[in-house]
A and B are shown apart, each in its own frame.
Chain A
């Protein structure tokens, strides 16, 4: 089993424990990374060549690629979005929306003074679980 899968599952379980302990912000951090690690798994084991080509092309096109490399989550997500949308429009649209919302909650939880409540934590839990399951199913993992 890939280490990414193990890390993703651990992060998800940690999030559930953190919610039980009412550590809602931290739980959302874990949930986002649980999903991001599934995305990394796909880029490594399912779309390796395409991912390399996509990165090369986009970094080459970008005027400030050096600065951008440090913040490559968006690039990774964009790559997966494009790939899914080209093969499954319905799932592609759902993925676009759900990952964008989860990322927004994660930013709010980690970088802002926003109060994160149980409701937001539970929404994030549902988003992460749904995205993870659908990604694994879509890519046959």
Chain B
């Protein structure tokens, strides 16, 4: 295994284990050094579990690749990485409606398969969309305000997945590209 592959695997583990982290990685060829920038600073400085994992990675790296240098830094260190690879987990946004839990990411994924989704702020349409660029709040309001009737929800095997009769969507002024949906409208992918 190469040093880069080792590091990328470890970064994936970190992002998976510590979902609040954003990690940037860059290899500096001229000094055979790898830089991993971890944010937010609070986690980098204070999360004992993260620090323990970081230490284990550092020691393993020294053992496997002693002719190279691996350095963990934070934003506060002032190093401007030139063109880093950026790793961050998709947020698992949970919404509650009349006591029922929705995973908003799943709902949006199911509704907007054809769109680029920036999970932090908004959905950006790939196709012409009459200038619409809806935020999560807009979309969620559109969905919930008009069509949600808890009595219509039918819980199926996975407790995170729901189906519902959805007569409203077809008469929506905004085309959510749900033309092919049947009466059993899949809310969660």
Using CB atoms and an 8 Å cutoff, list the residues of chain A in contact with chain B.
54, 58, 62, 68, 71, 74-75, 77-79, 81-82, 85-86, 89, 92-93, 96-97, 99-101, 103-104, 106-107, 111-112, 123
Contacts and interface: CB of A to CB of B under 8 A. Distances in A.
A111 B62 contact: no
Interface stretch (B71-79, B114-122, B159-167): B71-79
Contacts of B69: 74, 77-78, 99-100, 103
Specify the main secondary structure of chain A where it touches its partner: helix
B54 A93 contact: yes
Contacts of B8: none
A96 B58 CA distance: 9
Contacts of A85: 55, 58-59, 62
A89 B33 contact: no
A75 B67 contact: yes
Contacts of A74: 31-33, 66-69
Given A75-B67, A82-B63, A101-B79, 10 more contacts: A58-B66, A68-B67, A74-B33, A78-B69, A96-B71, A97-B71, A97-B73, A101-B77, A107-B30, A107-B33
B183 interface: no
